[in-house]
């Protein structure tokens, strides 16, 4: 747990700098910031960033000496007069519960005594924003923050992916006339996907949206074309390609270009590529309606339908995810009882 204590905040003068101290804290892995003067606008700004970009970062207001006194862990004060970070960072890295204290103008003398460590990021005057960023970066506690907006790194330009939330996805299913059976299947698929995804590095928001919407094309047709139809619906609804692809890449555990051609689908492959696409595809494969069944049972069904050629690929995807996400079918089957 990392708490940042920002002392000496003056709402009129330090608006931007305290906002930046809070943003750095959140982005570089802190769980909470305590600011020693109430500033509602600052709270609104930070809560809004967390809502959009994810995480459970907390902002609290409180008296700094009381916050230090009450704190149970190790207190690290960042000051240009302290011991160079390089000498102490390995020792500090081993500590679980840390309070990082940064000042604004002159820092009161007692802080130097109350702190367990006084640490300098270069023994030169600069700023609380730079000192805090470098310290937190070297501490290396950054978490994968996942929210409604996800920045897709670009060599040039900007790309931001908006991931629809659960309510928005359910409303979209309703808008296209999804029946109860389809909704039950989609909700169960989201539970299976989220449970699978817990064991590997995947985005739960993306898994939930992808699983809830993967079959929206079934409101148009139940044929193999439902994936393509779903893709078209989501594009029409202005959803990003990343979201729309869940529709096209879940059919038949992912179709190769040749198979797609034989099935007269538009000329491309339909192979799930991202970890989220693979998980949603596999979660759908493991479902018979809204019940999880074994991959063997699914394989038998495929054979009965004359689709034996597809079985090795769907089994391969399932074993790949069993290892990658460390899931057991028994755990997924427990979802049947809920
Ligand atoms: N003269 C002030 C003092 O008494 O420390 C420094 C004011 S400085 C603008 C604001 C804050 O930036 C400091 O309280 C400290 O937390 C941080 N800071 C500035 N330079 C630093 C450095 N070289 N190493 C660590 N922290 C620094």
Ligand 1 centroid–CA 39 distance in Å is 22
Question: Which residues, 6 or more positions from 257, have their beta carbon under 8 angstroms from its beta carbon?
Answer: 267, 268, 269
Ligand 1 centroid–CA 126 distance in Å is 6
Closest Cα to atom 27 of ligand 1? 79
Half-sphere exposure of 150 (CA within 13 A, CB side): 19
Domain span(s) for CATH 3.40.1280.10 in the chain:
2-139
Q: Which pair of tokens denotes residue 53? A: 């970009």
pLDDT-derived band at 284, boundaries 50, 70, 90: very high
Ligand 1 centroid–CA 127 distance in Å is 6
Residue 143 has pLDDT above 90, yes or no: no
To test ligand 1's pocket by mutation, which of 131, 136, 139 has the most ligand atoms within 8 angstroms of CB? 131
Residue 304 has pLDDT above 90, yes or no: no
- Cβ < 6 Å from ligand 1: which residues? 78-80, 102-107, 120-122, 124-128, 131
Closest Cα to atom 26 of ligand 1? 79
Measured distance CA(294)–CA(288) in Å, rounded: 10
Mean of the pLDDT values across residues 94-102? 98
Residue 66 has pLDDT above 80, yes or no: yes
Helix (H, G, I), strand (E, B) or coil at 122: coil
Residue 47 has pLDDT above 90, yes or no: yes
pLDDT-derived band at 313, boundaries 50, 70, 90: confident
Average per-residue pLDDT for the chain: 94
**Which of ligand 1's atoms lies nearest the C-alpha of 105?**
7
Mean of the pLDDT values across residues 2-11? 92
Domain span(s) for CATH 1.10.3210 in the chain:
161-337
Pick 161-337's CATH classification: 1.10.3470, 1.10.8, 1.10.760, 1.10.3210. Answer: 1.10.3210
Please give the pLDDT value at position 131.
98
Instruction: With beta carbons less than 8 A apart as the criterion, state whether 121 and 130 touch.
Output: yes
Please give the pLDDT value at position 114.
94
Comparing 210 with 15, the larger pLDDT belongs to 210
pLDDT-derived band at 269, boundaries 50, 70, 90: confident
Closest Cα to atom 9 of ligand 1? 127
Mean of the pLDDT values across residues 159-183? 97
- The pLDDT tens digits of the residues spanning 195-204 come to 999 999 999 9
Mean of the pLDDT values across residues 178-186? 97
Please give the pLDDT value at position 193.
98
Pick 2-139's CATH classification: 2.60.40.10, 3.40.1280.10, 3.40.50.620, 3.10.20.30. Answer: 3.40.1280.10
Please give the pLDDT value at position 224.
85
Question: Which residues, 6 or more positions from 246, have their beta carbon under 8 angstroms from its beta carbon?
Answer: 209, 210, 211, 213, 214, 276, 277, 280
Residue 12 has pLDDT above 90, yes or no: no
- The pLDDT tens digits of the residues spanning 30-46 come to 999 999 999 999 999 99
**Which of ligand 1's atoms lies nearest the C-alpha of 102?**
16
Question: Which residues, 6 or more positions from 255, have their beta carbon under 8 angstroms from its beta carbon?
Answer: 263, 265, 269, 270, 271
Residue 252 has pLDDT above 80, yes or no: no
pLDDT-derived band at 14, boundaries 50, 70, 90: confident
Instruction: With beta carbons less than 8 A apart as the criterion, state whether 258 and 245 touch.
Output: no
**CA Rg value for the chain:** 25
Mean of the pLDDT values across residues 69-85? 97
Looking at the chain, the whole-number percentage of residues with pLDDT higher than 90 is 82
To test ligand 1's pocket by mutation, which of 21, 80, 122 has the most ligand atoms within 8 angstroms of CB? 80
Closest Cα to atom 21 of ligand 1? 80
């Amino acid at each position: 747990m990392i708490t940042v204590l920002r002392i000496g905040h003056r709402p009129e003068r330090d608006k931007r700098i305290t906002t930046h101290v809070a943003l750095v804290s959140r982005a570089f892995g802190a769980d909470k910031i305590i600011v020693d003067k109430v500033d509602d606008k600052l709270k609104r700004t930070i809560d809004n960033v967390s809502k959009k970009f994810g995480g459970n970062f907390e902002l609290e207001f409180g008296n700094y000496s009381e916050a230090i006194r009450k704190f149970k862990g190790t207190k690290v004060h960042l000051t240009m007069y302290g011991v160079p970070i390089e000498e102490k960072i390995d020792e500090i890295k081993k500590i679980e519960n840390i309070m990082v204290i940064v000042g604004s103008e002159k820092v009161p003398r007692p802080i130097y005594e109350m702190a367990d460590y006084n640490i300098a990021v270069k023994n030169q005057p600069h700023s609380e924003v730079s000192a805090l960023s470098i310290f937190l970066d070297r501490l290396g506690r950054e978490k994968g923050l996942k929210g409604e907006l996800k920045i897709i790194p670009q060599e040039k330009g900007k790309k931001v992916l908006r991931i629809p939330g659960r309510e928005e996805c359910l409303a979209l299913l309703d808008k296209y006339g999804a029946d109860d059976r389809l909704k039950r299947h989609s909700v169960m698929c989201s539970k299976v996907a989220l449970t699978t995804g817990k064991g590997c590095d995947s985005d739960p928001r993306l898994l939930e949206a992808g699983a809830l919407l993967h079959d929206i094309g079934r409101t148009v047709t139940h044929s193999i074309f439902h994936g393509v139809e779903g893709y078209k619906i989501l594009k029409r609804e202005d959803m990003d390609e990343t979201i729309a692809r869940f529709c096209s890449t879940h059919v038949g555990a992912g179709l190769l270009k040749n198979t797609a051609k034989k099935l007269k689908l538009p000329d491309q492959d339909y192979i799930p590529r991202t970890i989220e696409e693979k998980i949603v595809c596999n979660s759908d494969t493991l479902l018979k309606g809204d019940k999880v069944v074994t991959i063997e049972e699914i394989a038998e069904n495929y054979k009965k339908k004359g689709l034996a050629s597809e079985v090795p690929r769907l089994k391969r995807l399932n074993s790949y995810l069993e290892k990658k996400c460390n899931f057991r079918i028994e755990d997924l089957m427990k979802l049947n009882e809920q």
